[in-house]
Amino acid sequence: MVSVAAGFVFVWALYVAAIPPFEGQDEIWHVIYAQTLAHRELPVQQLERPSGEMFVMKEGTQPPLYYALVAPAFVGTDVETLRQSAVHNPHGSVGGPGVVDNRNLFAHPPSGAPIDRRMWIARGVSALFGLGTVLMTYLSARRVSLPAALPAAALVAFMPGFLFVSALVTNDVAVAFFGGLGLYTALRAAEGGLTARAQLGSGFVVGLAALTKVSGLLTAPLLLAALALRRESSRRTWGDASARIVFPAILVTGWWYARNLSLYGDLTGLRRHLGRDDLWGEIPTASEVISDLGGLARSFIGLFGWFSVPMHDPVYVGYWIVLAIGLAGLARWRGERRGLLLCLGWALMILGALVASRLIFRSFHGRLLYPALPGLAVLWGVGLMALTPNPVRRPVVVAAIGGFALAAAAVAPLYLWPAYAAPSPGSICSSASTDRRVGGPIELVAARVERSELAPGDILDVDLCWRANEPPGAIWSVFVQAVDPNGRILGQHDGFPGGGPDATLWWRAGSLHTDRHRLRIALDAPAPTVAELRVGFYDKATGRRLLDVDPSGADTIALDDLRVAPTPGPTDPRGDGSRRFDDGISVIGVDLPIVSSRVEGTVWLTTDRPIARNHTISIQLVGQGGLAAQDDRLPRGGLYPTTAWRAGDVVPHSFALAPSPVAPGRSRLLLILYDLPDETRILADGTDHLVLAELCSADDALRLCPPEH
């Protein structure tokens, strides 16, 4: 057990070193609660909270025991201390495990913050509760099956998600300890009973658990069920024991729940916590609950940050296979089953409470199952040992402990450090020319665009290198966007520099900063088209842009032109390209679905070579009386100028003509290409136009003329 405990402490230290302050779900609000107690005040949860503001009280309805224990670490600090230690990243991901950057919800000073040492102390209190949970698991397993004790303790000690919670300022690890303590006490009660004094002590355990978190109240029915499992118990002795458990629990924790009732109108303060009067107004459908189960399974094993830093999928699969093997081994267990029934009942009780909470809250959180983690670990350890023959049990236990420890330790370098460490200036900055100055506070000294030709739905990586000519002294976000000629944004990525951790507030004069952005071109982007790739800085709170980032003094830098072409497909069958202009552009088809008083349609063009000039397309209807209607515009309304065309492109160009009454007879629909400003026409075998169709007038409407025989 000593080796398991030492391994837990070592891996815990790796996690704490890799997790910046407040980068676990709700940790910032747990710290603010502890600060409030450090000021010798009990928190009062306000109903109205500023939208988007992170440095406010949001956990004020939680029971206070854990926070009272960590409060000494924050004596002499206030919310301003926290603001100086971290900058809220408004682009940070909450519940987005698929994101590749801005996974941090806060950015931190590169040289450290005033709160760092205090966070280590407060997180050390969490470590003690985590270590206590491991110990309770070990002791509980010994009461059920001695060989299962070490593997069960190792499962808890090296569960990545539990280590992560133990490395945060949060009451979740404290209630996990009391869940383990309650289970151990229940196993003792079921096995040999409890003396009257021990029953009173158990009541204090229940009270402390309930004073840590509301779910701690469930330790009371666990202990009462354990007493009921004793074969020699009677209704009278059970009633007496129940009273000895319930009364101390009420004595310890009743004042807090009475305060909630007085302040908020309910025992738990849940309505005030959620900011709504109707707790049952957002009951999910069965399909929504089922869709959340995958996230519950992953977050139980380990989903870090604000649910934005996952492990690779095979890791989760591996853990669940190992757990399934151990639990399946319970079928071979031939020993006493009362202890297993208690462990199973405790796990089902916590799981049932979690499912019930899903009817109120909008998501599952695996950490809420950790009070039952000691019971699950005991079940798993007993099943594993039941499957393992006696001669190989020791090697299996050693392999289990070593495997769990190595897997847990690998989480820090593989997942946590990369998520929160600001990148050092990379190759793009080392090759950048820095001999010019724009004059603004921030200068783009190098950029690398992955490619300039894309299709709708494609992802584009853009690497940037910024130099601070002077300390910006403000919090700026970077935007990278692709904008078509009509001003539509086809793709955009916003975030703090450096993928999230590198806030401009702490940049120094002359410093270089690497920045990568990944934007996706919209699936419905008009293609083909040409978009301009633009970058710049702006204030997320106000939308105001940083000026003078471009040599012209503009607030935007134009990096490159992006050619957005449709996904390649089979050769268009609408024409053979025989109608051709001399510069390589040819007509491969014309769509005229309806011809009446208006002539609307699409001409399909292609080219066999790059076009050097920007042609204007003119569609003209010419009758016996001369020009009847005309539609002149750039290709695709300016979205895709001919200078961007490449050999093999298929370019649809729509037109619409509203001719005045056309003289009877045949009219011709002409295609003309010309260049501005002198309106020089492009020839096609000696003529200056191509005939797209012939139309005939009848009953004051135009129709396609029948073929001439």
Res 571 pLDDT > 60: no
Tell me which of 618 and 426 has the higher pLDDT.
Answer: 618
Give the integer Cα–Cα distance in Å for 566 and 456.
7
The pLDDT confidence band at residue 436, using thresholds 50, 70 and 90, is: very low
Q: Which of 180, 207, 204 is nearest to 194 (CA)?
A: 204
Contact, 476 vs 496, CB < 8 A?
A: no
Domain limit, last residue, from 418, 445, 462: 418
- The DSSP string of 593-656 is --BSSSEEEEEEEEESS---S-EEEEEEEEETTEEEEEEEESGGGGTS-GGG--TT-EEEEEEE
- In this structure, is residue 97 part of a structural domain? no
Q: Which of 254, 255, 278, 257 is nearest to 266 (CA)?
A: 257
- In this structure, is residue 573 part of a structural domain? no
Across residues 515-542, what is the average pLDDT?
A: 91
**Which has the minimum average pLDDT: 372-376, 534-538, 597-601?**
597-601
Instruction: Tell me, yes or no, whether 144 and 193 share the same domain.
Output: yes
Task: Indicate the angle between helix axes 338-358 and 286-302, nearest 10 degrees.
Answer: 120
Give the integer Cα–Cα distance in Å for 464 and 453.
19
The set of long-range contacts for 359-363, using a CB threshold of 8 Å and a minimum separation of 24, is 359/280, 359/283, 359/284, 360/270, 360/274, 360/279, 360/280, 360/282, 361/274, 362/282, 362/284, 363/95, 363/292, 363/295
Across residues 460-481, what is the average pLDDT?
A: 92
Instruction: Tell me, yes or no, whether 399 and 439 share the same domain.
Output: no
Tokens coding 243 = 């009273």
Tell me which of 372 and 286 has the higher pLDDT.
Answer: 372
Across residues 335-363, what is the average pLDDT?
A: 87
CA angle 202, 203, 205 (to 5 degrees): 65
Res 709 pLDDT > 60: no
Q: For 145-269, where are the alpha helices, taking DSSP H only?
A: 149-157, 160-166, 172-192, 196-210, 219-229, 235-264
pLDDT of residue 631: 92
Instruction: Tell me, yes or no, whether 446 and 587 share the same domain.
Output: no
- In this structure, is residue 549 part of a structural domain? yes
pLDDT of residue 154: 96
Instruction: Tell me, yes or no, whether 617 and 558 share the same domain.
Output: no
Contact, 560 vs 530, CB < 8 A?
A: no
The pLDDT confidence band at residue 594, using thresholds 50, 70 and 90, is: low
Q: How many CB atoms are closer than 10 A to CB 539?
A: 13
Contact, 266 vs 224, CB < 8 A?
A: no
- The DSSP string of 317-357 is HHHHHHHHHHHHGGGG--S--HHHHHHHHHHHHHHHHHHHH
CA distances from 591 to 566, 595, 630, 632 (A): 19, 10, 17, 18
Tokens coding 705 = 């003329």
The per-residue pLDDT for range 2-23, each reduced to its tens digit, is: 889 999 999 999 999 999 999 9
Cα torsion 68, 72, 73, 78: sign: positive
Instruction: Tell me, yes or no, whether 331 and 253 share the same domain.
Output: yes
Which residues, other chains included, contact 312 with Cβ-Cβ below 8 Å and sequence gap of 6+?
Answer: none
The per-residue pLDDT for range 136-175, each reduced to its tens digit, is: 999 999 999 888 999 999 999 999 999 999 999 999 999 9
Contact, 639 vs 526, CB < 8 A?
A: yes
Tell me which of 96 and 561 has the higher pLDDT.
Answer: 561
Instruction: Tell me, yes or no, whether 62 and 132 share the same domain.
Output: yes
Instruction: Tell me, yes or no, whether 193 and 335 share the same domain.
Output: yes
Contact, 221 vs 214, CB < 8 A?
A: no
Contact, 161 vs 369, CB < 8 A?
A: no
Question: What's the total number of domains in the chain?
Answer: 3
- In this structure, is residue 364 part of a structural domain? yes
3-state helix, strand, coil in the chain (%, to 5): 45, 20, 35
Domain limit, last residue, from 418, 452, 481: 418
The H-or-E segment that residue 591 falls in is: strand 585-591
Res 548 pLDDT > 80: no
- In this structure, is residue 102 part of a structural domain? no
Across residues 62-70, what is the average pLDDT?
A: 96
- In this structure, is residue 94 part of a structural domain? no
% of the chain residues with pLDDT over 70:
94
Instruction: Specify the 3-state DSSP secondary structure of 238.
Output: helix
CATH number, domain containing residue 441: 2.60.40.10
Strands (E) across 433-584 are located at 442-449, 453-454, 459-468, 477-483, 489-495, 512-520, 529-538, 557-564, 579-580
Across residues 526-550, what is the average pLDDT?
A: 88
Give the integer Cα–Cα distance in Å for 586 and 579.
6
CATH number, domain containing residue 649: 2.70.50.60
The per-residue pLDDT for range 615-666, each reduced to its tens digit, is: 999 999 888 778 888 999 999 888 899 988 888 888 889 898 887 766 677 8
Instruction: Tell me, yes or no, whether 399 and 486 share the same domain.
Output: no
For residues 88, 89, 91, 93, the Cα torsion angle rounded to the nearest 10 degrees is -80
Give the integer Cα–Cα distance in Å for 181 and 210.
13
91 alpha carbon, distance to own chain's centre: 10
pLDDT of residue 569: 46
Tell me which of 702 and 506 has the higher pLDDT.
Answer: 506
Instruction: Tell me, yes or no, whether 408 and 433 share the same domain.
Output: no
Give the integer Cα–Cα distance in Å for 545 and 442.
12
Tokens coding 269 = 């303060």
CA angle 665, 668, 672 (to 5 degrees): 160
Contact, 308 vs 93, CB < 8 A?
A: yes
Tokens coding 644 = 């961007």
Fill in the DSSP letter of residue 71: G
pLDDT of residue 502: 92
The per-residue pLDDT for range 82-106, each reduced to its tens digit, is: 998 999 999 988 877 778 889 999 9
- In this structure, is residue 709 part of a structural domain? no
Fill in the DSSP letter of residue 553: S
Q: Which of 593, 601, 596 is nearest to 700 (CA)?
A: 596
Mean residue pLDDT across the chain: 87
Give the integer Cα–Cα distance in Å for 511 and 191.
67
Across residues 392-415, what is the average pLDDT?
A: 91
Contact, 403 vs 208, CB < 8 A?
A: no
Across residues 683-697, what is the average pLDDT?
A: 87
**Which has the minimum average pLDDT: 190-199, 223-232, 420-429?**
223-232
The per-residue pLDDT for range 182-194, each reduced to its tens digit, is: 999 999 888 777 7
Q: Which of 136, 183, 145 is nearest to 386 (CA)?
A: 145
- In this structure, is residue 659 part of a structural domain? yes
Domain limit, last residue, from 374, 400, 418: 418
Residue appearing with tokens 């190989």: 392
Instruction: Tell me, yes or no, whether 558 and 482 share the same domain.
Output: yes
Beta bridge partners of 580: 586
The pLDDT confidence band at residue 526, using thresholds 50, 70 and 90, is: confident
Instruction: Tell me, yes or no, whether 649 and 685 share the same domain.
Output: yes
pLDDT of residue 662: 62
Residue appearing with tokens 């830093």: 309
In this structure, which amino acid lies at residue 152? A
**Which has the minimum average pLDDT: 49-63, 419-433, 566-580?**
566-580
Across residues 122-138, what is the average pLDDT?
A: 97
pLDDT of residue 100: 84
Bond preceding residue 151 cis, omega within 30 of 0: no
First to last CA, the chain: 100
Instruction: Tell me, yes or no, whether 468 and 369 share the same domain.
Output: no
Domain range enclosing 451: 427-564
Q: Which of 277, 436, 237 is nearest to 360 (CA)?
A: 277
